[in-house]
Amino acid sequence: MDRKPDPCLWCGRPVPVVAAGRRRRYCRQSCRQRAYEQRSILREVSVPQDSTILTAEEANALADRAFLVRCAAEDVATAVREGATAEELADLSAELVSLARDAERIR
């Protein structure tokens, strides 16, 4: 049975599907290590266990990706309002989907 790869719990990239045994949770050892380090740090502070801590740079990058999605959505809305062709709308929609997929990444 073909399974869709799950996203890495640390970086969001697809995790390779293994044929037997337990499903992997991280795409590589470095992501597994970063997650372990974060859990270790969280034990020492009063941050909820299910929190994700981002650096200022990561938070800014996430906000930038969300902004790009909004701009692309506005472009689609403008094109619809102005009577764009089906081909133009298809191109704008493809760009919107691509930006939305990229924006799903937290890191």
Give 7's strand partners: 14
Which stretches of the chain score pLDDT less than 70?
1-3, 107
* Backbone dihedral region for residue 87 (phi beyond 0: left; psi -120 to 50: alpha; all else: beta): alpha
Amino acid identity, position 75: D
As a residue count, the chain comes to 107
Of 103, 8, 99, 13, nearest to 61 by C-alpha is 103
Please report the pLDDT score of residue 107 as a whole number.
62
- CA 11 from centroid of its chain's CA atoms: 8
- CA 97 from centroid of its chain's CA atoms: 12
Please report the pLDDT score of residue 1 as a whole number.
52
